[in-house]
Amino acid sequence: MESFLKQKASKSYVMDSYSQMIIDAVQAVKNAVVKIDVYRKQKGKLQRAGSGSGFIFSSDGLIFTNSHVVQGAERIMVSLLNENEIEATLVGLDADTDLAIIKVYSSGYSVARMGDSEALQIGQLLIAIGNPYGYQHTVTTGVVSALGRTLRSQNGMLVDNVIQSDAALNPGNSGGPMITTGGEVIGVNTAIIQGAQGLSFSVPINTAKEIANQIIANGKVFKAYLGLSLQEVPLNQKIARHYHLVNDRGLFVTGIESKSPASRSDLKEGDIIVSFNNKPVRTLHELFKELSTKSVLSMIDMSVVRHTELVELTVFPVQRG
């Protein structure tokens, strides 16, 4: 009997430790998470036209959210956890990555701590915080299901390098943070697939930070376009050693859009991109950074592994309209 009680106590302790980990992570971020209500004119009057989530990422009141939440809004109101409601201004947005930045002039909030989305691993525990259906500060948990996915955004463009998880997201979660058990934001929740269960997607925080830097500096985002659906995959190490490649990973081409720069090159589905612009590429974030510089709008050299051969190609990226 005593042994049974000890086992039961041990199990309770493990369960409590898990709960405490979630509680501590939420506690670290909750004062930075906001509810966003947008208003548009209908019949000459401003009326509430939708809501979403966001989180404060700088001490001067800058907030990440989704572009589809605030695009076209004539008034944006932000509710803090202390129930203060403040009008926000739009700093800028990028519909292609479904990211937007708004700003509030207030106090009484904390700033979310940014993590490193490149350090994520499949199976890692994640926590989502948001306002689904207006239920403020709802917490759900899940794990990283896949990394480096390509997702078609609401404007029809391909968003590279999204994080796939099984954390439950619903309308109103859009723009809220996906955090680690350490309380660090590693993604901006962006999409669910209607009718599917256990499929939700977040834009990696490393990508969001790059977008923010451009929006804050220039008021807009520059990105070159290839027209590829890609997936990060491990690289066969025998092939890597044979061709003296430094990569342990590459970018597997799962799809090529018609009438795109990629379709006019010699790229084929099934190729694994290992070099772009004479630099090794292991991750979609590395490719994203290359496509964020205007110098890339020229004939670019690429190396791909095709079956067991290393093939040299060229592609001419174009600026996204």
Amino acid at 37: D
Nearest of 94, 38, 30 to residue 66 by alpha carbon = 94
Residue 2 confidence (pLDDT) above 80: no
The rounded mean pLDDT for the chain is: 89
- Contacts (Cβ under 8 Å, ≥6 apart) of 19: none
Superfamily of domain 224-319: PDZ domain (2.30.42.10)
Nearest of 229, 177, 182 to residue 32 by alpha carbon = 177
pLDDT at 3: 58
pLDDT at 9: 53
pLDDT confidence of 320, banded at 50, 70, 90? confident
Of 292 and 267, more confident? 267
Provide long-range contacts, Cβ within 8 A and 24+ apart, for 137-146: 137/30, 137/33, 137/81, 138/173, 139/22, 139/26, 140/167, 140/168, 140/169, 141/22, 141/167, 142/166, 142/167, 142/168, 142/198, 142/200, 143/167, 144/120, 145/198, 145/199, 146/122
246-262 pLDDT, tens per residue? 999 999 999 999 999 99
Stretch 124-148: mean pLDDT: 89
pLDDT at 43: 84
pLDDT at 110: 92
Of 57 and 200, more confident? 57
The residues annotated as belonging to the active site are 68, 98, 174
Q: Give this prediction's pTM.
A: 0.83
Q: Domain limits of the chain?
A: 114-208, 224-319
Rounded Cα distance between 84 and 227, Å, is 44
Which of these ranges, 65-69, 85-89, 158-162, 263-267, has the smallest mean pLDDT?
Answer: 158-162
296-309 pLDDT, tens per residue? 999 999 999 999 99
Rounded Cα distance between 178 and 273, Å, is 29
Rounded Cα distance between 291 and 319, Å, is 9
Amino acid at 169: L
- Max mean pLDDT among 84-88, 159-163, 271-275 falls in 271-275
Rounded Cα distance between 237 and 232, Å, is 15
Stretch 285-298: mean pLDDT: 90
Fold classification of 114-208 is Thrombin, subunit H (2.40.10)
CB 108 within 8 A of CB 82: yes
Residue 196 confidence (pLDDT) above 60: no
pLDDT confidence of 168, banded at 50, 70, 90? confident
- Sign of the C-alpha dihedral, residues 253, 257, 262, 264? positive
Residue 131 confidence (pLDDT) above 90: no
